[in-house]
Amino acid sequence: MHPAVLLLSLASAAVADPGCIPRTSASQGFRLIVNVTDPSKDFSPSINGQQFTNAHIGPSQNRGIVVPSAGAVFYQNGTYADIDKHTLQIINDAGSAPGVFPQTVTYQQESVDTFGQGLYINGGALSGGVALSRLADPYSYLSILEGVVSSTLVVCSQTIPYYGDDRKFNVVNWVQATRDSSGTSVKVPEGCAPINLVAECAELAPLPEGAYSSHEFAQEVRCYEKVADIDWSKYSF
Ligand SMILES: *[C@@H]1O[C@H](CO)[C@@H](O)[C@H](O)[C@H]1NC(C)=O
Ligand SMILES: *[C@@H]1O[C@H](CO)[C@@H](O)[C@H](O)[C@H]1NC(C)=O
Protein backbone atom coordinates (compact mmCIF):
# COMPACT_ATOMS: atom_id res chain seq x y z
CA MET A 1 0.00 0.00 0.00
CA HIS A 2 1.17 3.51 -0.76
CA PRO A 3 2.28 5.20 2.49
CA ALA A 4 -0.06 8.14 1.98
CA VAL A 5 -3.02 5.83 1.54
CA LEU A 6 -2.06 3.95 4.64
CA LEU A 7 -1.87 7.15 6.69
CA LEU A 8 -5.20 8.30 5.38
CA SER A 9 -6.95 5.08 6.29
CA LEU A 10 -5.39 5.11 9.75
CA ALA A 11 -6.50 8.65 10.36
CA SER A 12 -10.05 8.06 9.20
CA ALA A 13 -10.39 4.97 11.35
CA ALA A 14 -8.90 6.95 14.27
CA VAL A 15 -6.80 3.95 15.11
CA ALA A 16 -3.41 4.58 16.65
CA ASP A 17 -0.81 2.41 14.95
CA PRO A 18 2.06 2.23 17.42
CA GLY A 19 4.48 2.59 14.51
CA CYS A 20 2.96 5.94 13.53
CA ILE A 21 2.84 7.75 16.85
CA PRO A 22 5.63 8.87 19.16
CA ARG A 23 6.46 6.18 21.68
CA THR A 24 5.00 6.58 25.15
CA SER A 25 6.04 5.17 28.51
CA ALA A 26 3.91 4.86 31.63
CA SER A 27 4.36 6.78 34.84
CA GLN A 28 2.31 8.18 37.70
CA GLY A 29 4.14 11.51 37.75
CA PHE A 30 4.47 13.80 34.74
CA ARG A 31 5.31 17.35 33.76
CA LEU A 32 3.26 19.25 31.21
CA ILE A 33 5.39 20.53 28.35
CA VAL A 34 4.43 23.24 25.85
CA ASN A 35 4.06 22.22 22.22
CA VAL A 36 3.13 25.18 20.02
CA THR A 37 0.69 23.71 17.53
CA ASP A 38 0.88 26.63 15.08
CA PRO A 39 4.61 27.47 14.80
CA SER A 40 3.81 30.75 13.00
CA LYS A 41 2.30 32.03 16.29
CA ASP A 42 5.24 31.01 18.49
CA PHE A 43 6.94 33.69 20.61
CA SER A 44 10.52 34.80 20.20
CA PRO A 45 12.40 33.20 21.91
CA SER A 46 10.28 30.10 21.35
CA ILE A 47 8.11 28.80 24.17
CA ASN A 48 8.29 25.25 22.85
CA GLY A 49 9.46 22.96 25.64
CA GLN A 50 8.47 25.33 28.46
CA GLN A 51 6.80 23.75 31.48
CA PHE A 52 3.46 24.31 33.17
CA THR A 53 3.52 25.53 36.76
CA ASN A 54 1.91 27.79 39.41
CA ALA A 55 1.99 31.52 39.92
CA HIS A 56 0.64 32.19 43.42
CA ILE A 57 -2.24 34.72 43.40
CA GLY A 58 -3.82 34.20 46.81
CA PRO A 59 -4.53 31.60 49.51
CA SER A 60 -4.75 28.22 47.73
CA GLN A 61 -5.05 29.97 44.39
CA ASN A 62 -2.60 29.90 41.52
CA ARG A 63 -2.69 31.01 37.95
CA GLY A 64 -1.33 28.50 35.43
CA ILE A 65 1.81 29.80 33.70
CA VAL A 66 4.70 28.32 31.75
CA VAL A 67 8.37 28.75 32.64
CA PRO A 68 11.63 27.67 30.99
CA SER A 69 12.43 24.90 33.49
CA ALA A 70 11.52 23.19 36.76
CA GLY A 71 7.79 22.97 36.08
CA ALA A 72 5.46 21.31 38.59
CA VAL A 73 5.02 17.52 38.69
CA PHE A 74 1.42 16.36 38.32
CA TYR A 75 -0.51 13.14 38.61
CA GLN A 76 -3.92 12.09 37.35
CA ASN A 77 -6.22 11.10 40.19
CA GLY A 78 -9.25 8.85 40.02
CA THR A 79 -10.71 5.37 39.70
CA TYR A 80 -11.57 3.50 36.47
CA ALA A 81 -15.16 4.68 36.96
CA ASP A 82 -13.88 8.26 37.10
CA ILE A 83 -12.37 7.80 33.63
CA ASP A 84 -15.80 6.91 32.21
CA LYS A 85 -17.55 9.67 34.12
CA HIS A 86 -15.01 12.38 33.21
CA THR A 87 -14.41 12.98 36.91
CA LEU A 88 -10.62 12.79 37.03
CA GLN A 89 -8.36 15.41 38.52
CA ILE A 90 -4.92 16.58 37.49
CA ILE A 91 -3.18 17.21 40.79
CA ASN A 92 0.05 18.78 41.98
CA ASP A 93 1.19 18.31 45.59
CA ALA A 94 2.01 21.62 47.25
CA GLY A 95 3.09 22.87 50.66
CA SER A 96 5.89 21.62 52.83
CA ALA A 97 6.21 18.44 54.82
CA PRO A 98 4.32 17.09 56.58
CA GLY A 99 1.32 19.21 55.48
CA VAL A 100 1.60 18.47 51.74
CA PHE A 101 -1.79 19.10 50.15
CA PRO A 102 -3.36 18.59 46.71
CA GLN A 103 -3.93 21.39 44.21
CA THR A 104 -6.13 20.68 41.23
CA VAL A 105 -5.82 22.06 37.71
CA THR A 106 -9.11 23.70 36.94
CA TYR A 107 -10.55 26.07 34.40
CA GLN A 108 -12.99 28.82 35.01
CA GLN A 109 -15.81 29.86 32.78
CA GLU A 110 -15.14 33.54 33.14
CA SER A 111 -16.49 36.31 31.08
CA VAL A 112 -14.36 36.03 27.99
CA ASP A 113 -11.70 38.70 28.06
CA THR A 114 -9.29 39.51 25.28
CA PHE A 115 -6.95 36.67 26.18
CA GLY A 116 -9.48 33.88 26.63
CA GLN A 117 -10.36 32.20 29.90
CA GLY A 118 -8.06 31.24 32.73
CA LEU A 119 -6.52 27.97 33.81
CA TYR A 120 -5.86 27.74 37.54
CA ILE A 121 -4.20 25.34 39.97
CA ASN A 122 -6.23 25.67 43.14
CA GLY A 123 -6.09 24.01 46.55
CA GLY A 124 -8.54 21.33 47.62
CA ALA A 125 -10.50 18.50 46.08
CA LEU A 126 -12.19 20.16 43.13
CA SER A 127 -13.82 18.80 40.04
CA GLY A 128 -11.15 20.17 37.79
CA GLY A 129 -12.76 19.34 34.47
CA VAL A 130 -9.43 18.60 32.85
CA ALA A 131 -7.59 15.31 32.30
CA LEU A 132 -5.09 13.80 29.95
CA SER A 133 -6.48 12.87 26.55
CA ARG A 134 -8.10 9.45 26.31
CA LEU A 135 -6.41 6.37 24.88
CA ALA A 136 -8.28 6.74 21.61
CA ASP A 137 -6.34 9.95 21.03
CA PRO A 138 -2.94 9.30 19.45
CA TYR A 139 -1.20 11.80 21.75
CA SER A 140 -1.12 12.32 25.50
CA TYR A 141 -1.78 15.94 26.49
CA LEU A 142 -3.99 17.98 28.80
CA SER A 143 -7.55 18.37 27.58
CA ILE A 144 -10.65 20.14 28.82
CA LEU A 145 -13.42 17.65 29.42
CA GLU A 146 -16.82 18.79 30.47
CA GLY A 147 -19.34 19.81 27.90
CA VAL A 148 -16.84 21.69 25.80
CA VAL A 149 -17.23 20.89 22.14
CA SER A 150 -13.86 22.02 21.04
CA SER A 151 -11.25 24.23 22.59
CA THR A 152 -7.58 24.95 22.61
CA LEU A 153 -5.11 26.03 25.22
CA VAL A 154 -3.13 29.15 24.46
CA VAL A 155 -0.17 30.91 26.03
CA CYS A 156 -0.50 34.70 26.23
CA SER A 157 2.07 37.22 27.39
CA GLN A 158 0.13 39.24 29.94
CA THR A 159 0.16 40.70 33.43
CA ILE A 160 -1.41 39.00 36.45
CA PRO A 161 -3.24 41.50 38.69
CA TYR A 162 -1.60 40.15 41.89
CA TYR A 163 1.86 41.07 40.55
CA GLY A 164 1.08 44.56 39.28
CA ASP A 165 1.40 46.07 35.83
CA ASP A 166 5.15 45.87 35.30
CA ARG A 167 5.68 42.15 35.14
CA LYS A 168 4.50 39.94 32.30
CA PHE A 169 4.02 36.21 32.51
CA ASN A 170 3.45 33.54 29.93
CA VAL A 171 -0.04 32.74 31.14
CA VAL A 172 -1.99 29.65 30.07
CA ASN A 173 -5.57 30.29 28.98
CA TRP A 174 -8.10 28.35 27.02
CA VAL A 175 -10.33 29.37 24.17
CA GLN A 176 -13.61 27.73 23.38
CA ALA A 177 -14.68 27.15 19.81
CA THR A 178 -17.47 29.23 18.42
CA ARG A 179 -20.00 28.01 15.94
CA ASP A 180 -21.28 29.96 12.99
CA SER A 181 -22.58 29.27 9.49
CA SER A 182 -19.17 28.14 8.28
CA GLY A 183 -18.85 25.60 11.10
CA THR A 184 -16.95 25.34 14.36
CA SER A 185 -13.74 27.24 14.75
CA VAL A 186 -11.37 28.26 17.48
CA LYS A 187 -10.13 31.82 17.33
CA VAL A 188 -6.71 32.31 18.91
CA PRO A 189 -6.48 35.76 20.51
CA GLU A 190 -4.00 38.22 19.02
CA GLY A 191 -0.59 37.87 20.69
CA CYS A 192 -1.26 34.37 21.97
CA ALA A 193 0.10 31.04 20.76
CA PRO A 194 -2.07 27.91 20.51
CA ILE A 195 -0.48 25.06 22.44
CA ASN A 196 -0.89 21.61 23.81
CA LEU A 197 0.52 20.70 27.20
CA VAL A 198 2.11 17.34 26.48
CA ALA A 199 2.78 14.81 29.25
CA GLU A 200 6.46 14.12 29.95
CA CYS A 201 7.23 11.31 32.43
CA ALA A 202 8.58 12.49 35.77
CA GLU A 203 9.07 10.96 39.16
CA LEU A 204 6.18 11.41 41.59
CA ALA A 205 7.81 12.22 44.93
CA PRO A 206 6.60 9.96 47.75
CA LEU A 207 4.41 11.71 50.32
CA PRO A 208 5.62 12.43 53.83
CA GLU A 209 3.87 10.78 56.78
CA GLY A 210 0.80 12.83 57.68
CA ALA A 211 0.32 14.48 54.26
CA TYR A 212 -3.16 15.66 53.25
CA SER A 213 -2.51 14.44 49.71
CA SER A 214 -2.91 10.78 48.80
CA HIS A 215 -1.46 8.83 45.89
CA GLU A 216 -3.89 5.94 46.35
CA PHE A 217 -5.72 6.82 43.13
CA ALA A 218 -2.76 8.18 41.17
CA GLN A 219 -3.06 6.53 37.76
CA GLU A 220 -0.38 5.20 35.47
CA VAL A 221 -0.65 7.50 32.47
CA ARG A 222 0.85 7.67 28.99
CA CYS A 223 3.79 10.05 28.89
CA TYR A 224 6.83 10.74 26.75
CA GLU A 225 10.40 10.40 27.97
CA LYS A 226 11.43 13.68 26.34
CA VAL A 227 8.85 15.81 24.55
CA ALA A 228 11.53 18.09 23.07
CA ASP A 229 13.01 15.12 21.18
CA ILE A 230 9.78 14.32 19.33
CA ASP A 231 9.89 15.19 15.63
CA TRP A 232 6.19 15.89 15.07
CA SER A 233 6.65 16.16 11.31
CA LYS A 234 7.00 12.37 11.23
CA TYR A 235 3.45 11.96 12.51
CA SER A 236 0.38 13.28 10.81
CA PHE A 237 -3.04 13.25 12.33
C1 LIG B 1 2.96 19.63 18.22
O2 LIG B 1 3.11 20.72 17.30
C3 LIG B 1 3.26 20.35 15.94
C4 LIG B 1 3.44 21.62 15.14
O5 LIG B 1 4.62 22.26 15.51
C6 LIG B 1 2.06 19.55 15.50
O7 LIG B 1 2.26 19.10 14.18
C8 LIG B 1 1.83 18.36 16.41
O9 LIG B 1 0.62 17.71 16.07
C10 LIG B 1 1.72 18.84 17.85
N11 LIG B 1 1.55 17.68 18.74
C12 LIG B 1 0.79 17.76 19.83
C13 LIG B 1 0.62 16.51 20.63
O14 LIG B 1 0.27 18.79 20.20
C1 LIG C 1 -8.97 11.27 44.02
O2 LIG C 1 -9.88 10.30 43.53
C3 LIG C 1 -10.61 9.63 44.54
C4 LIG C 1 -11.43 8.52 43.84
O5 LIG C 1 -12.39 9.08 42.97
C6 LIG C 1 -11.49 10.65 45.28
O7 LIG C 1 -12.18 9.99 46.31
C8 LIG C 1 -10.60 11.75 45.84
O9 LIG C 1 -11.40 12.77 46.43
C10 LIG C 1 -9.74 12.38 44.76
N11 LIG C 1 -8.79 13.31 45.34
C12 LIG C 1 -8.83 14.62 45.09
C13 LIG C 1 -7.82 15.45 45.78
O14 LIG C 1 -9.63 15.11 44.30
Would the pLDDT of 20 be above 90? no
Does any domain span residue 172?
no
Count CA within 13 A, CB hemisphere, residue 95: 21
- Where on the phi/psi map is residue 20: left (φ > 0), alpha (ψ -120 to 50), or beta? alpha
86, 131 Cβ separation under 8 angstroms:
yes
Compute the distance from residue 232 Cα to the ligand 1 centre, in Å. Answer: 6
Question: Mutation test of ligand 2: which of 76, 89, 212, 213 has the most ligand atoms closer than 8 Å to its C-beta?
Answer: 89
Does any domain span residue 113?
yes
Mapped onto helix, strand or coil, the DSSP state of residue 60 is coil
Q: How confident is the model at residue 19 (pLDDT cuts 50, 70, 90)?
A: low
Does any domain span residue 184?
no
Note the pLDDT tens digit of each residue in 154-175.
999 999 989 999 999 999 998 8
Compute the distance from residue 144 Cα to the ligand 1 centre, in Å. Answer: 17
| CA-closest residue to ligand 2 atom 11 | 125
Would the pLDDT of 17 be above 70? no
Count of the separate structural domains present in the chain: 1
Could you tell me the residue range of the domain that residue 202 belongs to? 29-36+48-148+197-226
Would the pLDDT of 4 be above 50? no
Question: Mutation test of ligand 2: which of 74, 76, 77 has the most ligand atoms closer than 8 Å to its C-beta?
Answer: 77
Which ligand is in closest contact with the Cα of 211? Answer: 2
Does any domain span residue 66?
yes
Does any domain span residue 189?
no
Query: Over pLDDT 90: what percentage of the chain?
Result: 62
| CA-closest residue to ligand 1 atom 5 | 37
Note the pLDDT tens digit of each residue in 82-136.
988 888 999 999 999 999 999 999 987 665 556 778 899 999 767 778 999 988 8
Pocket around ligand 2 at a 6 A CB cut-off = 77-79, 82, 89, 91, 102, 125, 217
State the Cα–Cα distance between residues 32 and 142, nearest whole angstrom. Answer: 8
Question: Mutation test of ligand 1: which of 36, 142, 196 has the most ligand atoms closer than 8 Å to its C-beta?
Answer: 196
Pocket around ligand 1 at a 6 A CB cut-off = 35-37, 39, 139, 141, 196, 198, 232
More confident residue, 237 or 124: 124
Does any domain span residue 191?
no
Say whether pTM exceeds 0.75: yes
Does any domain span residue 76?
yes
106, 130 Cβ separation under 8 angstroms:
yes
Does any domain span residue 88?
yes
